Copies of this chain bind each other. A is one copy, B any other.
Amino acid sequence: LNLRNSFGNLFRITTWGESHGPAMGVVIDGCPAGLELSEVDLLALLKRRAPGTSLDVSPRREPDHPQILSGLYKGRTTGAPLSILIENVDAQSNAYQSWEGKHRPGHASYTYLEKYGIYDPRGGGRASARETVCRVAAGAVANKFINENGIKIETSLIQVGLERNPNNFSSYLQTIQQKGDSVGGLVSCRVRGMPIGLGEPIYLKLEAQLASALLSIPATKGFEIGEGFASVEMKGSEHNDFLIDKGSFASNHAGGLLGGISNAETLFFRVPFKPTASIKKIQKTTTYLGEQTELPISEKGRHDPCTAVRGAVVVEAMTALVLADFLLLSRTTRL
C-alpha cells in the first residue's frame, strides 16, 4: 500500500505539507491501541533530524515542536488515527525568488511541472526534504512500538564524499561548504533484537519493502543488504551461511534474512545519498520556457553540505515504520 503519500500496510502513514506552507503533518493509522505516547517521545528523533543544530547542516531553524492532535486518551494510543502536526516557522520564501522561473539542477521542478502542469517552487514545495520531518515523527512512534518488542535500530554515517574517518567528517564538510559545494554520503544501518519471521513473501519481502522505504527518501540512490554488491564477486561456498543454533548463523553474509523473511540475525544494510543538489556555485540551467541561462550564486538559501548527515535519522525512521508494519503482519500468518 505504498501509494503516493501513504506508506505501509497495517501500520500506515499518510504525510502532507509543503516546505513553505503553514505546516507539515502525518496521520498514522493502525498504531496498536495501548501504547504509552506523548509529544516528548518524538523529540529525540526530531532533534537528530533538525536543521540548524551544527555547522554541518542547514542553518534554517525550525523548532519542530510536534502536536499530537488525535488518537490519544489518558496518555495511551486508542487505536484511532494519530494526527501529528509540525508548524513551519522559519520558512523564508523570498530567499528563493532569485531562481524563480529557472530549473535548479538536481531538483524536481522540471518533472513536477511536466507531470502536474503546476509546481509550487517555494522551497521545493512537496518535493522538499522538509517532508521527512513527518517520517521522523511517525518513525518515532513506530520505534517506540518495536522497542517494546525488543528491536533496536542503529544508523551511522560511514562515509562522506571521499572521507571514511568519522572524526574528520566535520572539518571535511566545512571545507566543502566553504567552496559552495556539497558531497554525497553513505549511511549504514544495523537492527538488533530482530525476531524470526518478519517479511511477507513473495512481493512484500523484508528487503523489498525496506528498499522501497529507503529509495523514497529524497537524495537516496541505492540500497544494499548483507554483502550487497560485493556478493557479485563471492563464491557460493563462501557466501552461503549455515545455521549454528536457533537464530544464530555462521557469517550472516545475507544480512539478517533468508527468502525475504528475517532470520533473527542482525539486519544490516547501506544507503547511498547523492550530494545535495542545492549548492552556491554558478550552474548552467534552462528557464521554465526552455531558454538556456545560468543560476546565480545563492546567497540566502540555507542547505546542508551533505544530506546524509541528517538522512541517517530518516533511514532509521523509515526502517522503524517497515518493521512495525511487519510485526503486525506477522501475527496473521498462522491459524
Contacts and interface: CB of A to CB of B under 8 A. Distances in A.
Contacts of A285: 242-243
> Is chain A's binding surface mostly helix, strand, loop or mixed?
mixed
A65 interface: no
A103 B243 CA distance: 8
B279 A237 contact: yes
Contacts of A319: none
Nearest to A202: B5
Contacts of A205: 215-216
Interface in A1-58: 1-7, 9-10, 12, 14-18, 21-23, 25, 27, 29-30, 32-35
A95 interface: no
B69 A111 contact: no
Contact of A70 (B6, B21, B30, B231): B21
Nearest to A128: B259
Interface in A60-97: 69-71, 73-74, 76-83, 85
A134 B93 CA distance: 30
Contact of A221 (B182, B202, B226, B245): B226
Interface string A92-115: 000000000001011110111011
Given A279-B236, A332-B32, A79 B259 contact: no
B239 A106 contact: yes
Contact of A6 (B14, B183, B284): B14
A223 B199 CA distance: 18
Interface residues of A, number: 151
B108 A259 contact: yes
A216 B222 contact: no
Contacts of A236: 106, 181-183, 275-279, 281
Nearest to A224: B222
A123 interface: no
A202 B211 CA distance: 14
Interface in A197-228: 197, 199-205, 207-216, 218, 220-228
B222 A79 contact: no
Give the one of A35, A78, A83, A279 with max B CB within 10 A: A83
Most buried by B among A211, A218, A234, A236: A236
A5 B233 contact: no
B16 A81 contact: yes
Contact of A279 (B105, B240, B275, B333): B240
